[in-house]
Amino acid sequence: MNRHIEAFLEMLAAERGAARNTLLAYAADLGDFSAFAAARADTDEAETLRAYMAHLSTLGLAARSAARKLSALRQFHRFLLREGIRADDPTALLDSPRLPRSLPKYLSEAEVDALLAATDLRPPAQAVLMRAALEILYATGLRVSELLTLPRTALAGEGEMLMVRGKGGRERMVPLSAAARSAAVALVGARRTGRFLFAGRGEQALTRQGFALMLKQVALEAGIDPARVSPHVLRHSFASHMLARGADLRSLQLLLGHADIATTQIYTHVLAERLQRLVEAHHPLAVAPAKPE
């Protein structure tokens, strides 16, 4: 099985442009199943798969983690089927773990303003970098990987739009606010060398870990619990605030780079809240009757 796993990972890298962390996660999940299956060599694979999912449950693995492992197994077996290595897909009849409904965590508009203001309290070099990073994240909803790999040339020309390379190598254009552009221009002026807009050591891009640490420090300066602040929380904040102010789901899907609008629909809680406020404000039966004098 291991040679087929290697071929599958090579396909993900070559055809889908999978990131290194994605490949490592697939390798770990498929390697875990391979070790489990090796002890059941005489068992039908469909039965082995059912036993493996039951095994994950007995280990107390969270439903979301089990669902991720099942997704890796399904994609792997579809690859085997497509390549003619197998004549069937034994994962087709497996039930997905029931996932709890979870709403995206996001900051209030006032908290985002506090974060932006708190960047000025950091040392000068870090202040200009974090100001640019937060302005761009909140203006565009970029993933942190997309932000940190922006080249310096991303601001070429008028700079009203950013060309972003997202998951699977897919490119999209996102508008850049005047405040975000101004902060990015200041960052370029502060550091005139390097390939990346957000440069780390030498010619390398700033690492996710390095950025996360600086973001936690800014959160502390802003008086916000650092556990509540992350690049993905800022992405959720962008999406939630856009919907609350009237954006539609299809436009938001394009801005976020979601391949499927079903992914964008996790933000419908914001639409529900907005509709509830509209009903309470405008429906005749929702208006409290005036008290008689």
**Pair of tokens at residue 142:** 């970029």
Compute CA 293 distance to the chain's CA centroid, rounded to the nearest angstrom: 56
With respect to residue 228, please indicate whether it lies within any of the assigned structural domains.
Answer: yes
| 24 plus 144 within the same structural domain | no
Comparing CA positions, the residue from 163, 164, 160 lying closest to residue 178 is 160
- Banded pLDDT at 100 (limits 50, 70, 90): low
In a domain, 97, yes or no: no
Distance of alpha carbon 183 from alpha carbon 115, whole angstroms: 14
Q: How far apart are CA 218 and CA 120, in angstroms?
A: 9
169 and 272 both lie in a single domain: yes
Is 258 tagged catalytic?
yes
Same domain, 259 and 180: yes
- pLDDT bin (cut points 50, 70, 90) of residue 245 is confident
Chain segment 30-81, per-residue pLDDT in tens: 999 999 998 887 788 889 999 999 999 899 888 888 889 999 999 999 999 9
Instruction: Report the CATH number that the domain containing residue 36 is assigned in CATH.
Output: 1.10.150
Do residues 207 and 253 both lie within one domain? yes
Asked whether residue 130 falls in the same domain as residue 41, the answer is no
Whether residue 178 lies inside any domain: the answer is yes
Catalytic, out of 55, 86, 167, 208: 167
Assess whether 71 and 123 both reside in one domain: no
Q: Which residue in 181, 235, 236, 241 is the catalytic one?
A: 235
Q: Is 98 a catalytic residue?
A: no
Q: Are residues 122 and 245 in the same domain?
A: yes
Q: Range of 153's domain?
A: 109-277
Question: How would DSSP label each residue in 260-286?
Answer: SHHHHGGGHHHHHHHHHHHHHHH-GGG
Average pLDDT on 234-262 reads 88
| pLDDT tens-digit series, residues 126-154 | 999 999 999 999 999 999 999 999 988 88
Confidence band, pLDDT 50/70/90 cuts, at residue 156? low
Does 98 reside within a domain?
no
- Domain assignment present for residue 270? The answer is yes
pLDDT tens digits, 179-203: 999 999 899 888 767 789 998 887 8
- Provide long-range contacts, Cβ within 8 A and 24+ apart, for 217-220: 217/122, 217/126, 218/115, 218/118, 218/119, 218/122, 218/130, 218/134, 219/115, 219/118
- The answer to whether residue 167 is catalytic is yes
d(CA 217, CA 215): 5
Asked if 141 and 231 sit in the same domain, the reply is yes
The answer to whether 50 is a known catalytic residue is no
The answer as to whether 93 is a domain residue is no
| Cα gap 126→201, rounded to integer Å | 13
Q: Cα dist. 68→11, 18, 30, 91, 266 in Å?
A: 19, 16, 11, 13, 18
Residue 283 located in a structural domain? no
Q: Tell me what pLDDT residue 19 has.
A: 84
CB neighbours of residue 84 within 10 Å: 7
* Backbone φ and ψ of 239, nearest 5°: -65, -45
Residue 290 belongs to some domain of the structure = no
- How confident is the prediction for the chain on average, in pLDDT? 86
Per-state percent for the chain, helix, strand, coil, to nearest 5: 65, 5, 30
Q: How far is CA 57 from the centre of its chain?
A: 26
**pTM as predicted:** 0.63
Label residue 211 exposed, middle or buried (CB < 10 Å: 0-12, 13-18, 19+): buried
Statement to judge: residues 157 and 21 lie in one domain: no
Q: What is the pLDDT of residue 61?
A: 86
Judge whether 235 counts as a catalytic residue.
yes
Q: Which of 143, 152, 181, 241 is catalytic?
A: 143
Number of domains in the chain: 2
Give pLDDT, residue 11: 92
3 classed as catalytic: no
Inter-CA distances, 255 with 206, 238, 272, Å: 23, 10, 21
Catalytic annotation, pick one of 208, 232, 269, 274: 232
pLDDT at 28: 94
**Residues 158/160/164/170 CA torsion (nearest 10 deg):** -100
Q: What percent of the chain has pLDDT over 90?
A: 49
